[in-house]
C-alpha cells in the first residue's frame, strides 16, 4: 500500500469520529424532543424526525387516529413553556 493510501485509511476514521463527537443537539431540538416525550401518544403514531430548528415530523401508521390530539398537546406544551419564560 502506498504511503498516500495508508494516510487516508488512518485519517478518515479519525476525522469521522471527531466530526461525530462535535455534533450536538440545538436548544430548539432539545425543547422539541422534550415536547414529544411529554405527550401521550396513540400506538399508531411514529416519530419520523426532529429537525435542528425544532420542527417535529410524525406519521400515523394506520390512519390519522390521535394525530390531531397529539398536535394540540404539543402546541399546549409550547404555550405552557412560553408562559413560564415570560
Distance (Å) of CA 6 to CA 1, 2, 11, 12, 56 = 7, 6, 8, 10, 43
**Residue 10 domain-assigned (yes or no):** no
**Residue 42 domain-assigned (yes or no):** yes
**Residue 19 domain-assigned (yes or no):** no
What was the pLDDT predicted at 75? Answer: 95
Which pLDDT tens digit goes with each residue over 4-43? 566 556 666 665 655 565 678 999 999 999 999 999 999 9
Host H or E run for residue 67: helix 67-85
Could you tell me what percent of the chain has a pLDDT over 70? 72
Parent domain of 66: 25-85
Q: Which three cell numbers stand for residue 49?
A: 424526525
**Residue 65 domain-assigned (yes or no):** yes
Domain count, the chain: 1
**Residue 11 domain-assigned (yes or no):** no
pTM: 0.69
Assign 84 a pLDDT band (cuts: 50, 70, 90).
Answer: confident
Q: How many residues does the chain have?
A: 86
CB 61 within 8 A of CB 48: no
Amino acid at each position: 500500500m502506498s504511503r498516500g493510501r495508508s494516510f487516508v485509511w488512518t485519517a478518515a476514521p479519525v476525522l469521522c469520529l471527531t466530526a461525530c463527537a462535535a455534533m450536538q443537539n440545538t436548544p430548539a431540538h432539545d425543547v422539541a424532543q422534550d415536547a414529544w416525550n411529554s405527550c401521550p401518544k396513540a400506538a399508531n403514531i411514529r416519530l419520523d424526525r426532529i429537525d435542528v430548528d425544532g420542527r417535529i415530523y410524525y406519521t400515523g401508521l394506520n390512519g390519522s387516529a390521535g394525530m390531531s390530539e397529539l398536535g394540540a398537546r404539543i402546541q399546549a406544551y409550547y404555550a405552557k413553556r412560553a408562559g413560564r419564560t415570560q
